[in-house]
Amino acid sequence: MSRVEQPTRRRKHRRRSDGTGGAQEGAADRSTAEEQHWKWRTFPVAFAFAVGVFMMSWLAFVPGLNILLFAVSMVAVALGLAHIFVRQVVARRRRE
């Protein structure tokens, strides 16, 4: 058979594990997958919810429920602000 008549065989390109770039490429694939799903059980989400409930408890005047929501949300907002403040203090001390 001549060279033209032979069926062309294509090689499958495999990535060789030479120790460079493999972890970075895998991390890039994971980051795009993680961007598609929001992480709901995180501090920013919980803090935003607590602030929302706190502000709603000021605006909504339901006699029995308002006091309970206000107290719980006030504790949650206080804990969230304490968390933010402590992380800022720790970050400043690490820089020094």
34-43, pLDDT tens digit by residue? 566 778 889 9
Query: What DSSP letter does each residue of 11-40 carry, written as one string?
Result: PPP-----SSSHHHHHHHHHHHHHHHS---
Mean pLDDT lowest among 2-11, 32-41, 53-62: 2-11
Considering the entire predicted model, what is its pTM? Answer: 0.54
65-95, pLDDT tens digit by residue? 778 888 889 999 999 999 999 999 999 999 9
